[in-house]
A and B are shown apart, each in its own frame.
Chain A
Amino acid sequence: MLHIPCPHCGLRNETEFHYGAEAGVAYPEPNVLTDSEWAKYLHIRANPKGWLAERWVHFAGCGRWFNLWRNTITHEIGPAYLPFTTQPKKPDNIGQEGLKA
């Protein structure tokens, strides 16, 4: 049960959110892409071990999408930020596994 900082509602339990994988993948201009480029947009998303900027939607709260830095090894939660705003820099590990939020 992650504790996720919704930028609009504050810290809430994970069960109020839906996950949306890698953040910042823009919808491309489809008709200029080759099939492989289009397939890449359709199916490939970052899956790093460590910090991942990812999308969540607070579906059981404000209903808003936002982005979040989260560590996929420790489950540390980094800063949340709104779509189309400047991405905060990748957080440093705080060495406190699974606890920050």
Chain B
Amino acid sequence: MSEISFSFDDKIYKGHQGEPMVAALLRSGMLSITTSTYHGRPRAVVGLGVEEPNALVQLVSGTKESMLPATVIEVADGLAARSLTGVGALPELPEEARYDKTNRYVDTLVIGAGLAGLKAADEHLRAGREVLLIDDQPKPGGHLRHLGLELPASLRDVLAHKSLTYLCRCTAVGLYDQNYIVAIERRSDHLGNSAPANRARIRVWHIRADQVVLAPGAFQRPLIFSNNDRPGIMLSHAAATYVAVHGVQIFKRAVVATVDNQGYRDALRLHHAGVQVQAIYDARPVAEGSSVDAARATGIPIRFRATVLDTVSDAEGVCESVIIQDLDTNETFQITADLLAISGGWTPIVDLATHIGIKPKWSEAHAAFLVNHSTDRLRTHGMLAGDFGGDDNPSIFFGPELDEEQSRHAYIDLQRDTTLHDLRRAVGAGLNSIEHIKRYTTIGTAHDQGKTSGMLTIGALCQLNGVAQGGKPGLSPADVGTLSFRPPYIPVPFAALAGRERGPLSDPIRITSLHQWHVEAGAIFEDVGQWKRPWYFPKPGECMEDAVRRECVAARQGVAMMDASTLGKIEIQGTDAAVFLDRIYTNMFSTLPEGQCRYGLMCKTDGIVFDDGVTTLLGKNHFLMTTTTGGAARVLAWLEEWLQTEWPDLKVYCTSVTEHISTIALVGPKSRQLLQELVKDIDLSNATFPFMHSREAMIDDIPVRIARISFSGELAFEINVTWGYARHIWERLWAMGRPYDLTAYGTETMHVLRAEKGYIIVGQDTDGTQTPYDLNMSWIVSKKKEFIGKRSFQLPYLKAAGRLQLVGLLSDNGDEVIPEGAYTTELNAHPDEHGKTRHTGFVTSSYYSPALGRAFALALVADGLNRMGEVVAVPFGKKVLRATICDAVFIDKENIRRD
């Protein structure tokens, strides 16, 4: 292992590449590395890994990530970190790291590369299965690594098997339905300065496994006693590992407090590493086993029925001596120790199993909650399944009885500074559910999510609830139940889960085949759903208002064109296509002659307008439906749903052709003349090509379909052409149109033009509560046939008086454009005693009309169709405008211009 240097709180430390940061700090004598969040007490490392409740740091190097346990940070050249007091910081720095995601399907996923996991992997490999083995440590071996032992050769062979993929530094964070596992692989932080710049820092694995093996191991747990949070008090397994494996030599005199044989094994490791183990205090009355014999043989004093009651600190708050209590006589005595190593039993890592609702079961023999699950899809192995692999013989003991004062310093959740006293108060307040206790005390809510504190809470509650309910102290943890664990198993950076879905990739961007032309022409775009649509085309120096006026004038007086390709387009074919459309649209389509177009409105079953558009009968049993831009996908889904789930007898086939066909709208009195210059094979005159007719034609040997459809009231042609040819057609028109001053226009001008003509936009002039009648479109509701939504028109509210109806609105001041969304009120309306003013409707569309030379609006007004000529007030901000209700058609009521 190469020696490197890193910094912590601005001081330089030496360490071995890849070792845990806390090991290097401890070796340098750096014990107290933080103060606690609320009580400000000095704190040091307690554990070995992600269960660590105290040693949180923020990286100062690299990503500057915060709230990381220093137990899992591998030291590397260039690493810099600072201590935290339980509150992280979010640096406002650009994100330089990369994050990616991948998917994997496997026969068997094994979670945990300890002995149990490796053995399970071996079995599955032998059965011919492909195995993915993931483990959160830098190297395989689990427990063995903490003991400084190498993997046996047989298990090394498992790792080399061709059908096994092993991912280290990869933590399963969630187990979801049908064996779906999310895992987080850390790929570059441990390399420090030498990490390749383009390597994804974290990779999120989405794994679907036929079988899942859970072999996650267990955490050692502490004990509850007074002043159990002092630096120098550690889990015995962690202490022994730091001392024996990582060469930490700062502890001279140790005391071990245990409830199982693990304490003996760790005492022996400390002893052999040169620490003077003064005594082992075992809460049990008796202990047997090889480790106990071995400890006896080394001469370490062992005392049964004794445990730690309290600790005494030096001036810095570091553990100096330990007060031991005889559990039979309650006598106490003090013994000096700079290391108090605690072995309170094991807590198997049940988290993942509980994510999908498996309930852990309490085992008296193991003094632990276990998940012993064995089905053909999910198995638990190792400590989780109760295989503690030795002679631990733990007792169910969580700490000595403490008085009021002692309980104030008996910490259960070190990160949250919650104590046994807090727990007692919670129970005293009448709370008995562990979920209430958690919420009341905040135990288990910190970064570690109760990995060490959860079981202590359960243990303490057993006692407290037993007493509170007059029963014997010592209700079983089975009665209390566990806290609920939720994903993720360890905290995961937002950035990792967002992955590449950032910026332009956060949602697909849809562009038309003419997009690049629009960009080159300087268009300003608006987002319409996922589409980018030109909003307006400003000339140099023009503001939006100028541009839109110019575009409007061109369309009404000359010729203008827009890219209408985002309109949804659905081909509907089959012998029953016309019957189907009759059921979908409120109006009749079976009477539509070939080569003609008809505007249609569709409602949902509740009678509310849902979408609209023009549908053309292209040929026998062959319709082309257009939908709103935003409605394309839902209309197609709607058609399919009816066809497949209600009317399978209808022979109808629907195909989205939105991105196959580009649509160019050529609009204005000069549009015919211009287009005829390009179209030689058909006559565009009104007599041979009337309004709402559709014709096939050629432009430059390119087949196009031209329709006399107008969304402005002007003479207009919609040219449909295969997507890839659209730019050619557009540019040919553009070139030919120069003498006509052909003008490109965007969605804003389209809105002005259509509103002048009283044409609605579903979603703007409707808000999901309008029937066709409300839109003054009773003409489109067929009386002769049944269609979706018709029955709902008979519901009382849908035919009630006073419904909002679509009308026009002209403000007294023609220069003032009424804000869209503003409400109408009666002229004399005033706020009532509650400050509320009764309104009568609202403005849906409002623009300045160059054609009218004034502002105008569309509005939905209560009973509006019967109130023509009436004046209403439109209050907004501090202003009140007066406006007159009028017909919604402002231009060319006689429909002369379109021909």
Contact = CB atoms under 8 A, between A and B. Distances in A.
A and B touch in the complex (CB under 8 A): yes
Interface of A: 1-3, 13, 18, 20, 26-27, 30-31, 33, 35, 38-39, 41-42, 55, 57, 59, 63-65, 74-75, 77, 83-84, 96-101
A20 B208 CA distance: 25
Contact of B641 (A20, A41, A42): A20
A65 B644 contact: yes
A31 B339 CA distance: 84
A100 B641 CA distance: 28
Contacts of B794: 35
Interface string B189-222: 0000000000000000010100000000000000
13 contacts: A2-B177, A3-B208, A27-B646, A35-B795, A35-B796, A42-B792, A63-B640, A74-B357, A84-B648, A96-B377, A96-B378, A98-B356, A100-B377
B393 interface: no
B575 interface: no
B179 interface: yes
Given A99-B177, A99-B375, A30 B644 contact: no
Contact of A42 (B606, B637, B640, B786): B606
A38 B791 contact: yes
B372 to A, nearest CB: 14
A65 B176 contact: no
A31 to B, nearest CB: 7
B211 to A, nearest CB: 10
Nearest to A74: B357
Nearest to A73: B357
Given A75-B356, A98-B357, 10 more contacts: A1-B178, A20-B641, A26-B646, A30-B786, A33-B791, A42-B605, A83-B644, A96-B375, A96-B377, A98-B177
Contacts of A31: 786, 791
B485 interface: no
Interface string B352-394: 0000111000000000000000010110000000000000000
Given A74-B357, A98-B178, A57 B792 contact: no
A100 B178 contact: yes
A1 B791 contact: no
A27 B643 CA distance: 12
A2 B180 CA distance: 8
A50 to B, nearest CB: 14
B790 interface: yes
Chain B interface residue count: which class? Answer: 20 to 34
A99 B494 CA distance: 27
Nearest to A63: B640
A77 B644 CA distance: 22
A33 B644 CA distance: 24
B356 A97 contact: yes
B645 interface: yes
A70 to B, nearest CB: 10
A77 B641 contact: no
Given A33-B791, A42-B606, A57-B640, A101 B645 contact: no
B204 to A, nearest CB: 13
B155 to A, nearest CB: 28
Contacts of B786: 30-31
Interface of B: 176-180, 206, 208, 356-358, 375, 377-378, 605-606, 637, 640-641, 644-646, 648, 786, 790-792, 794-796
B637 A59 contact: yes
A97 B206 CA distance: 20
A98 B176 CA distance: 8
Contacts of B795: 35, 38-39
Contacts of B178: 1-3, 75, 77, 98-101
Contacts of A57: 637, 640-641, 644
Nearest to A101: B178
A85 to B, nearest CB: 11
Given A35-B796, A57-B637, A64 B357 contact: no
Contacts of A74: 357
A55 B640 CA distance: 13
A97 B637 contact: no
A39 B375 CA distance: 45
A98 B487 CA distance: 15
Contacts of B640: 57, 63, 65
A80 to B, nearest CB: 14
B360 to A, nearest CB: 13
- Residue among A3, A20, A64, A77 with the highest chain B CB neighbour number at 10 A: A3
B699 to A, nearest CB: 34
Contacts of A99: 177-179, 356, 375, 377-378
Contact of A83 (B356, B378, B645, B791): B645
Contacts of A26: 646
Contacts of A30: 786, 790-791
Contacts of B645: 20, 55, 65, 83
Contacts of A77: 178
A55 B208 CA distance: 24
A5 B641 CA distance: 19
A3 B641 contact: no
A2 B178 CA distance: 6
A96 B640 CA distance: 35
Nearest to B357: A97
B792 A38 contact: yes
Nearest to B649: A84
Contacts of B605: 41-42
B584 to A, nearest CB: 13
Contacts of A100: 178, 377
A30 B790 CA distance: 8
Contacts of A33: 791
A13 B790 CA distance: 37
Contact of B177 (A27, A75, A84): A75
Contacts of B208: 3, 13
Contacts of A20: 641, 645
A83 B648 contact: yes
Contacts of A42: 605-606, 792
Contacts of B180: 1, 3
Contacts of B606: 42
Nearest to A65: B644
A74 to B, nearest CB: 7
Nearest to B103: A13
Contacts of A3: 177-180, 208
A5 to B, nearest CB: 10
- Residue among A1, A20, A98 with the highest chain B CB neighbour number at 10 A: A98
A93 B791 CA distance: 41
A57 to B, nearest CB: 7
Give me the 4 closest cross-chain CB pairs, A-B, nearest first.
A30-B791, A3-B178, A98-B356, A101-B178
A13 B645 CA distance: 22
A27 B637 CA distance: 17
B647 to A, nearest CB: 8
A95 to B, nearest CB: 8
Contacts of B377: 96, 99-100
A55 B642 CA distance: 13
Contacts of B641: 20, 57, 65
- Residue among B637, B640, B646, B791 with the highest chain A CB neighbour number at 10 A: B791
B649 to A, nearest CB: 10
A65 B641 CA distance: 7
Contact of A18 (B356, B637, B644, B790): B637
B487 to A, nearest CB: 12
- Residue among A26, A30, A41, A55 with the highest chain B CB neighbour number at 10 A: A30
B59 to A, nearest CB: 31
A21 B606 CA distance: 17
Nearest to A66: B644
A55 B637 CA distance: 14
Contacts of B357: 74, 97-98
A75 B641 CA distance: 24
Nearest to A67: B645
B818 to A, nearest CB: 36
A33 B794 CA distance: 11
